[in-house]
Copies of this chain bind each other. A is one copy, B any other.
Amino acid sequence: MLNISAEQHLSDGRNYHHGDLRRALISAARALITETQDWTFSLREVARRAGVSHNAPYNHFPEKRDMLAAVAADGFETLRQRTLQAIQSTQSAREALAKCAHAYVQNGVENPALYRLMFGSELARDNQWPDEAHAAGQRTKAVIEEIVCRGADSGEFAVDIDDTDELTGVVLSLWSAVHGLTMFVIDGMTGTSRSVPELVDQLVAMQCRGLRSRMAQ
């Protein structure tokens, strides 16, 4: 994954402090988020963990927010890889969508704070996201787009993928549903005792039904 350990760097012959402090800071911050399930820790604490002075981070990030944005981008990359792996060797678009959704939700459940950072975040400044995090999010979206195109090709989904607007809208609707469910599960807002996989299955079933028949809107 993206978490290159300190040892690897050192065995590289590169000095931890001079070779890749940026990466080390991101790793340290991500580890802190994973451990504490919170990101109210200080930038100084991250620097301490990385074994550098409390200002060293400013050589790599303009301010704290930008470092968190880099962690978020890292989280998006992990999510992308996990969903991508989940749809390997699936037999149908329908199955791929289900597998993707399960992997997606589980990724969030396993590290709620990181998932919250990726989306909920005060990363936005003036309601504008840092480019790095934004781009990483778009790459994650591409996985869903691939599934939709596959379903259209196979005839499973009644989507006109040559109509860019329609394709984008469908992809966005699907991502919205899966993302929303992930948030509610994480936040304990489901208000039911049903298992997470059951909820995911029901959501996917409903979305697939919506994609199959295309009556008057």
Contacts and interface: CB of A to CB of B under 8 A. Distances in A.
A116 interface: yes
A194 B168 contact: yes
A38 B121 CA distance: 10
B199 A172 contact: yes
A126 interface: yes
Interface residues of A, number: 63
Interface of A: 37-40, 112-113, 116, 119-122, 124-129, 134, 137-138, 141, 164-166, 168-170, 172-173, 175-181, 183-184, 186-192, 194, 198-199, 201-203, 205-215, 217
Contacts of A201: 217
A180 B182 CA distance: 9
A190 B122 CA distance: 18
B173 A129 contact: no
B37 A187 contact: no
A169 B175 CA distance: 17
A86 B141 CA distance: 31
